[in-house]
Structure 1
Amino acid sequence: MKALAILEPGKAALVDIAAPDPSPGEVAIDLAYVGFCGSDLTSYRGLNPLVSYPRVPGHEISGTVSAVGTGVDDVAVGQAVTVLPYFNCGQCRPCRTGRPNACVNNQTMGVQREGAMAGRVVVPRGKVIPVDGLALRDLALIEPCAVGFHAVNRAQVEEGETVLVLGCGMIGLGVIIGGLRRGARVIAVDLSAQKLETAKALGAQHAILAGGDIAQAVAAIAPEGPEVVIEAVGAEATFRQAVEVVGSCGRVVYIGYAKAPIAYDTKHFITKEIDIRGSRNALPQDFADVVGYLRDHPQAGDRIVSRVVALDAAATALAEWDAAPADFTKILVKFGG
């Protein structure tokens, strides 16, 4: 079968790979849609240290069960599903303490192992999440939104708090809707006016176009500073900005990671007594929460998805995203039909 592979930095093309069949305990899934993730773009740019080449990308998955291995009796052929694409070891401290999303030996599909940008994937039954009541297109939005929801959970956002979201890409949008679902007031910040419009369409009460004095703009909305700042960019400037603008006794959560060491003015840590937390991947409950949101907001996908392309146009779409990242929020690759 055909699959998209990133052959080397800056070069992606269709390749032929063997169509897999399920072994005992496994489930075969015929893909309907697979989303391009920010990690795929980083891999394409040669900036992802976790990737070796060639690599089939893709871990934002929508599909239907096409076959099951022996021992699998609780999902049926034709069931619509998404996939928990993180493969954990089960032995390290995070795995032993109920936080497998932070497994020290984690392998994510499309990053450390082959991804789903092909016609069919086979995964263990435990990674399969059946979903009813959603359009197949929207199943591919569950994983990236769940990463944002997980960050909101890490921040312990409470109703009535102000949450500042730095970055309104796909993960940032997941943070925004996760915060809104908790009853928070959300301030969205981005360099792209187009992405801010999407954030507002999804419910963000305030939008700030980056480039000016962000601290002053935030202070005009939240004079004591936001209780929570969630960084979803992974840039040196926004890493520092998060601790500078968060209110006293606030919480800062980082999802993205900067590619180089960052120098902080550490007085903010002490004088404001802030909590700084990391957020990695997502848990099954985050997936379930996103499914609930998408069922309640069936129009959300129309606002999030920028483009849908066929597999034979996927390499071109990836190159266009690389050239103009501000023009796209979510690119989905559609299989079949």
Structure 2
Amino acid sequence: MKAIEITKPGTIKVVERPMPGHGEDEVLLKLKYVGFCGSDLSTYLGKNPMVSYPRIPGHEIAAVIELAGSRVPENFKPGKNVTVVPYTNCGQCSACKKKRFNACRYNQTLGVQRDGAMAEYLVIPWQKIVESESLSSIQLALVEPLTVGFHAIDNAGVTDVDTVLIFGCGMIGTGAIVRAKLRGATVIAVDIDDAKLEIAGQLGATYLINSNSQDLHAEVQRMTNGDGPSIVVEAAGNPLTYKAAIEEIGFAGRVVCIGYAGEEIAFSTKLWVQKELEILGSRNATPSDFEAVINYLKQAKPDEKLLVSKIVSVEEAPQAMKEWSEAPGKVLKILVRF
């Protein structure tokens, strides 16, 4: 079968891999669309510390069940359209004992710690399958990337009295914008790309700030009547936005961190203490986040053209990754069609 392989940093190509066999508790999936994630870009650039090479990337999945093992429940029948929860969980670590399986100490995400879904076929335990006959294949491929932002907003306990500032309007930030708006919050979207900010506005952001061309602090103060936001979500993974999150958050506020900055960051502890801040991490997503995103896509039916920058064939995927690496700010989502 054809697969896309990142052989080493800077090298991505189409390779032939043997067809996988499935066990009694597993399903064989025929892939239809797989999205390139920011973690895949980091792998290509050699900036993902959790990856070893060679690696097949990909964990944003739209597929159809091809075959099911003998112990797979009957409702997972061949021909069903599905997506996948791409994380493992050990069931024994402290996070798993608290039923926070998304934060499992020993998690292995498809395409990161283990080979992913950028191939014609994939074998997966049936427990990780999420079915939805009501969504299109393109929508199914958008579910997982949106869940990460949904999860961050739920972690923060956002309600309709909150003003939520979100740094980064990529796919994860987009999920956070949508979820915060669904919860009735006032949303401030911050990015350096006007095209992404325009999409953020169409998806529910109340205010838009281009931090390259506008005075971030002055705009935030104006938009919040001098109080600052009650919640800040860092979804850019940039040292500058991490520092700005602490500076811009209002007193007694909550900061939720999703992005990996890739380097150590020095903060003013004075602001942490004076503002009595809550600093939260947010990792991956839960099954309930998948359900929430599916409900959103089913009911709201957002324009897929807003969320998908480009759809490419398997053969075009290496060039698409190269072009993305050269202009990362211009891409929201690339889907590979199998």
User: What is the aligned residue count?
Assistant: 335
1:57-206 matches, within 5 Å, as 57-72=57-72, 73-206=74-207
Partner of residue 221, structure 1: 223
User: Conserved in 2, the CA contact under 8 Å of 1:294 and 1:300?
Assistant: no
1: CA distance between counterparts of 2:302 and 2:257?
Answer: 28
Q: Kindly provide the amino acid, as one letter, of the partner of residue 228 in structure 1.
A: I
Q: What are the Cα deviations for residues 243-288 of structure 1, in whole angstroms up to 9, with x where unaligned? A: 1101111100000021111110111111111100000000000000
SS of the counterpart of 2:145? helix
Tell whether 2:4 aligns with 1:4. yes
SS of the counterpart of 1:62? strand
1: CA distance between counterparts of 2:302 and 2:284?
Answer: 25
2: CA distance between counterparts of 1:108 and 1:65?
Answer: 20
Q: Kindly provide the amino acid, as one letter, of the partner of residue 218 in structure 2.
A: Q
How far did 1:131 drift?
A: 1.0
2: CA distance between counterparts of 1:300 and 1:205?
Answer: 19
How far did 1:301 drift?
A: 2.2
Tell whether 2:336 aligns with 1:327. no
User: Conserved in 2, the CA contact under 8 Å of 1:187 and 1:205?
Assistant: yes
How far did 1:88 drift?
A: 1.3
Partner of residue 51, structure 1: 51
User: Conserved in 2, the CA contact under 8 Å of 1:63 and 1:81?
Assistant: yes
2: CA distance between counterparts of 1:240 and 1:139?
Answer: 35
1: CA distance between counterparts of 2:329 and 2:259?
Answer: 17
1: CA distance between counterparts of 2:106 and 2:145?
Answer: 21
Partner of residue 209, structure 2: 208
1: CA distance between counterparts of 2:302 and 2:238?
Answer: 31
Q: Kindly provide the amino acid, as one letter, of the partner of residue 332 in structure 1.
A: L
2: CA distance between counterparts of 1:313 and 1:299?
Answer: 26
Partner of residue 35, structure 1: 35
Q: Kindly provide the amino acid, as one letter, of the partner of residue 222 in structure 2.
A: A
How far did 1:302 drift?
A: 2.3
How far did 1:291 drift?
A: 0.4
2: CA distance between counterparts of 1:298 and 1:305?
Answer: 14
Q: CA RMSD in A?
A: 0.8
Partner of residue 17, structure 1: 17
1: CA distance between counterparts of 2:71 and 2:137?
Answer: 26
2: CA distance between counterparts of 1:319 and 1:280?
Answer: 27
1: CA distance between counterparts of 2:271 and 2:28?
Answer: 50
2: CA distance between counterparts of 1:234 and 1:299?
Answer: 26
Q: Kindly provide the amino acid, as one letter, of the partner of residue 143 in structure 1.
A: E
1: CA distance between counterparts of 2:20 and 2:155?
Answer: 37
Q: Kindly provide the amino acid, as one letter, of the partner of residue 85 in structure 1.
A: P
Note the residue ranges of structure 2 that are not aligned, 5 or more in a row. Answer: none
Partner of residue 264, structure 1: 267
How far did 1:155 drift?
A: 0.7
How far did 1:138 drift?
A: 0.7
2: CA distance between counterparts of 1:315 and 1:91?
Answer: 39
SS of the counterpart of 2:315? helix
How far did 1:74 drift?
A: 2.7
Partner of residue 273, structure 1: 276
* Divergent runs of 4+, >3 A: none
TM-score (norm 2): 0.98
Note the residue ranges of structure 1 that are not aligned, 5 or more in a row. Answer: none
User: Conserved in 2, the CA contact under 8 Å of 1:232 and 1:254?
Assistant: yes
1: CA distance between counterparts of 2:109 and 2:302?
Answer: 29
2: CA distance between counterparts of 1:215 and 1:156?
Answer: 24
User: Conserved in 2, the CA contact under 8 Å of 1:189 and 1:210?
Assistant: yes
Partner of residue 255, structure 1: 258
Q: What are the Cα deviations for residues 191-211 of structure 1, in whole angstroms up to 9, with x where unaligned? A: 111110111111111100012
How far did 1:213 drift?
A: 2.3
SS of the counterpart of 2:259? coil
Partner of residue 317, structure 1: 320
Q: Kindly provide the amino acid, as one letter, of the partner of residue 258 in structure 1.
A: A
